[in-house]
Amino acid sequence: MSSWGCPHECNGKCARVNNLPCDPGMKGCVLFGRFRFADPNKNRPKKEHVGTAPQHNNDDKQ
């Protein structure tokens, strides 16, 4: 069995995010937005499609 260790974690603190307590997936973490977490607050919000082309209906053909 293997485990993963973050290279930015040092003594339970994140060297990448202002030495805050290490919380995998927090904003600023290298894992943020790359993986899905069980905690929905750690997941990146879904993108909304803006400016999509209208769908054409073939019913108006004559």
Please write the tens of the pLDDT for every residue from 17-50: 899 998 888 888 888 777 777 888 777 777 776 6
Task: Look up tokens 């290279």; give the residue.
Answer: 7
15 in Cβ contact with 9 (< 8 Å): yes
What pTM value is reported for the model? Answer: 0.51
What pLDDT does residue 60 have?
59
**3-class DSSP state of 59:** helix
What pLDDT does residue 62 have?
54
What pLDDT does residue 41 have?
77
24 in Cβ contact with 38 (< 8 Å): no
What pLDDT does residue 20 have?
92
Neighbours of 28 (CB within 10 A): 12
